[in-house]
């Protein structure tokens, strides 16, 4: 049975459009990473100040996840997606025009806050999909999301090399605005699952979900730890590669995003494992690969080849764990997927924010060795959390509507 046959409102073409949209919207949070040294030079920033741009993006994204994504259970999702995408475009426009750090942080915050629309699209796709195809659809959407994260760095490096870092944000703002109107025409209307619930009660119910669902608690902790490890690497990579002995250009640094494409290609396969009841196998695989990736990454300051191997393993492991986490939580409470996403992804991006902040500090005080140790510790903590989880707290229930 195909997704299209089981769910006429979710054609293969619409799945691909939603996948592209998740990538383009989430990319707003990652354009700065390969540009930090360029932005720092242009605006006269220190390394920790430049790192605060990434931290602002991650923190605002986490706030948006907690306060805005639950609205997907309360409002028509098509209209919500349209408005949020337009507002994210406005934040990118402000970033392009920023003349100092406070204005850039403000634009970054607005873009980060509303680019959580990517996390409205993923559970929307899960809801529209038939139960036996849900893992595949989520995997496809997450492939788009991961490619957006990776190619954002490559795009930013290329455009900045040909023009400037401001041009990166300007083009991104135009693309985001155009996407808003395309999605408004293409997405189906979908009735709210919790229509009539007061907003304060909707937000308060997120805490209730944490208390009631051990699967959510375990998966949220894993997400926070794995994304913390992931963010530690990408936040400081530009500083490593732009300094001796490498001295790479912004464009070359951006190309490292392509090395992680293997993770994006594997994401859909991880979703299919969940459809076959092997979600826990995918989790073990992802956590193990993430931990192992830090060995070649640590040695990568001496060898570009080892660094590339580490990037591939890092993205593969982190996304395998992430996809299996999302498939697990989407199966427990179908009527609350917006709030489940908010709970899980808020934890996920809080972990990423702390990882970004720690990475900038570690690099400034202990160099690449410090970043590598910090990232490996976070990955090891995720393995420990999985190994010592309460019995039954990670079990994936059968697929439901």
3-state secondary structure the chain: CCHHHHCCCCCHHHHHHHHHHHHHHHHHHCCCHHHHHHHHHHHCCCHHHHHHHHHHHHHHHHHHHHHCHHHHHCCCHHHHHHHHHHHHHHHHHHHHHCCCHHHHHHHHHHHHHHHHHHHHHHHHHHHHCCHHHHHHHHHHHHHHHHHHHHHHHHHHHHHHHHCCHHHHHHHHHHHHHHHHHHHHHHCCCCCCCCCCCCHHHHHHHHHHHHHHCHHHHHHHHHHHHHHHHHHHHHHHHHHHHHCCCCCCCHHHHHHHHHHCHHHHHHHHHHHHHHHCCCHHHHHHHHHHHHHHHHHHHHHCCCCHHHHHHHHHHHHHHHHHHHHHHHHHHHCCCHHHHHHHHHHHHHHHHHHHHHHHHHHHHHHHHHHHHHHHHHHHHHHHHHHHHHHCCCCCCCCCCCCCC
Residue 301 domain-assigned?
A: yes
pLDDT at 171: 97
Residue 401 domain-assigned?
A: no
Residue 397 domain-assigned?
A: no
Instruction: Confirm if 135 and 272 have CB atoms less than 8 A apart.
Output: yes
CA pair distance 384, 52, nearest whole angstrom: 29
Instruction: Confirm if 119 and 337 have CB atoms less than 8 A apart.
Output: no
> How deeply is 284 buried, as exposed, middle or buried, from its count of CB atoms within 10 A (0-12, 13-18, 19+)?
middle
CA pair distance 160, 286, nearest whole angstrom: 33
Going residue by residue through the chain, which has 401 residues, state the pLDDT in tens, using 9 for 90 and above: 333 333 545 788 899 999 999 999 999 988 988 888 889 888 988 878 888 888 898 789 888 988 999 998 888 889 999 999 999 999 999 999 998 999 999 999 999 999 999 989 988 988 888 777 777 888 889 888 888 887 888 899 889 988 999 999 999 999 999 999 999 999 988 777 666 778 899 899 988 999 999 999 999 999 999 999 999 998 899 889 988 889 988 778 877 877 777 666 765 677 677 667 777 888 999 999 999 999 999 999 999 999 999 998 998 899 889 888 988 898 888 778 888 988 998 898 789 889 988 998 999 999 999 999 999 999 999 999 999 887 655 555 555 55
CATH number for 205: 1.20.1250.20
pLDDT at 5: 38
pTM: 0.78
Residue 379 domain-assigned?
A: yes
Residue 35 domain-assigned?
A: yes
pLDDT at 194: 65
Instruction: Confirm if 399 and 253 have CB atoms less than 8 A apart.
Output: no
Find, among 291, 297, 353, 348, the residue nearest to 322 by Cα. Answer: 348
Residue 396 domain-assigned?
A: no
What domain range includes position 223? 3-189+196-387
Residue 394 domain-assigned?
A: no
Q: Which two three-digit tokens encode residue 319?
A: 């996304």
Structurally, the chain folds into a number of domains equal to 1
* CA distances for 389 relative to 108, 277, 325, angstroms: 36, 19, 14
CA pair distance 118, 235, nearest whole angstrom: 21
Residue 398 domain-assigned?
A: no
Cβ-based neighbours of 388, under 8 Å, separated by 6 or more: none
């Amino acid at each position: 049975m195909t997704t299209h046959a089981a769910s006429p409102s979710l054609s293969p073409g619409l799945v691909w459009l939603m996948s592209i949209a998740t990538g383009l919207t989430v990319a707003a949070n990652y354009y700065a990473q390969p540009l930090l040294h360029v932005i720092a030079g242009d605006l006269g920033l220190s390394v920790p100040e430049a790192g605060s741009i990434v931290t602002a993006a991650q923190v605002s994204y986490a706030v948006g996840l907690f306060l805005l994504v639950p609205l997907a259970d309360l409002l028509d999702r098509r209209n919500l997606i349209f408005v949020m995408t337009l507002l994210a475009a406005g934040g990118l426009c402000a970033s392009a025009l920023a003349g100092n750090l406070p204005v850039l942080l403000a634009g970054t915050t607005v873009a980060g806050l509303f680019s959580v629309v990517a996390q409205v699209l993923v559970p929307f796709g899960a809801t529209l999909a038939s139960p036996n195809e849900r893992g595949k659809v989520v995997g496809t959407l997450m492939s788009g999301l991961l490619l957006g994260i990776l190619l954002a760095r490559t795009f930013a490096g290329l455009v900045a090399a040909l023009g400037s870092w401001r041009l990166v944000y300007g083009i991104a703002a135009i693309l985001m605005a155009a996407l808003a109107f395309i999605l408004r025409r293409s997405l189906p209307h979908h009735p709210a699952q919790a229509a009539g619930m007061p907003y304060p009660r909707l937000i308060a119910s997120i805490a209730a979900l944490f208390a009631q669902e051990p699967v959510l608690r375990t998966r949220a902790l894993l997400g926070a730890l794995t994304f913390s490890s992931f963010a530690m690497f990408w936040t400081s990579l530009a500083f490593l590669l732009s300094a001796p002995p490498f001295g790479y250009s912004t464009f070359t640094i951006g190309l490292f995003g392509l090395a992680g494409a293997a993770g994006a290609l594997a994401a859909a396969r991880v979703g299919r494992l969940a459809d076959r009841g092997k979600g826990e196998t995918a989790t073990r695989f992802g956590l193990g690969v993430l931990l192992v990736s830090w060995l070649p990454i640590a040695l990568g300051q001496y060898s570009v080849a080892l660094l590339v191997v580490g990037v591939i393993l890092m993205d593969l492991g982190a996304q395998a764990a992430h996809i299996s986490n999302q498939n697990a939580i989407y199966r427990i409470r179908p009527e609350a997927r917006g709030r489940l996403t908010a709970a899980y992804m808020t934890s996920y991006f809080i972990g990423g924010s702390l990882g970004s902040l720690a990475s900038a500090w570690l690099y400034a005080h202990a160099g690449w060795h410090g970043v590598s140790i910090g990232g490996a510790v976070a990955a090891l903590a995720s393995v420990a959390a999985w190994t010592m989880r309460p019995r039954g707290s990670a079990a994936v229930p059968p697929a439901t509507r």
